[in-house]
Amino acid sequence: MSNQKTIKNCFSFSGIGIHSGNACSMQVLPAKAGTGICFIVTDASPPVEIPASPSYIVKKSRETSLAKDDIEIRTVEHFLAAAHGLGIDNLIIEITGRELPTVDGSALPFVEAFQKAGIVVLDYPKKVFMVHSSIAIENDDGEASLIILPFTHFRISCFVDFPVIGCQFFSFDSEKHSFEKEIAPARTFGYAEEIEALKEKGLAKGASLENALGINKDGYMNPPRFPNEPVRHKILDLFGDLALLNGYIKGHIIAIKSGHKLNLELMERLEVIYGKN
């Protein structure tokens, strides 16, 4: 994973945004080395370019969104996770609808589209962040935390504890596991009892059992892809948020009940420490 990558051929998706419920579309194009990943909102006048970087983060607890001026793109994390998990560094994404299509609620459709489009290795080195000292952050009540430690390669160890499904743990090791097989298929998830309250807040308007793993008082409402699918999806989300660094971590991230808001705080911290390297 020493050189940057892009894709050979473009591809597109259309569908609905899981939070807005609105129709949206995206076209993914190759980009030259050093470009990074950049979104272009084509239904703005004039079109607006929003790089996938910590400078454009909008902090939210249930999604990763980017904004420039008053133009916001919602729910970029599953697509970015697919790119980051496959080591793809340079892309242009033209979007309409201000949110990315949710597809099946995982990163797998994007992974498959990248592979079908062809992945091209460029003559340009990747940016790698070697973690030399530990960093720890936690939320206000101390219930959730993220710790990153020096390590020889890349690992994420994640622990969650949710109503009904209880405690789950998974540790992804880049030298032992396949992102495509172990993480990419894990779908976003939610509780049936929360859906109306979320919709009132402008969230989950496009959610269904076709694009999410549902949970009610009896357990999973549709068949899980893994017995511990929710914790794997939390790792998927972290992959997507890490993509905003435009580089690759050599370190061990330990995530305890963390979500997007804490993930993005860590991205900002890492950008300050390592972004100029």
Indicate which residues carry an active-site annotation: 260
Question: How many residues are listed for the chain in this entry?
Answer: 277
Q: Among positive and negative, which fits the CA dihedral 114, 115, 120, 126? A: positive
Coil vs helix vs strand at 1: coil
Residue 142 exposed, middle or buried by CB count within 10 Å (0-12, 13-18, 19+): exposed
Contact between 266 and 225 (Cβ < 8 Å): no
What amino acid is encoded at 15 in this protein? G
Residue 159 in tokens: 């622990």
Q: Return the number of other C-beta atoms located less than 10 Å from residue 120's C-beta.
A: 14
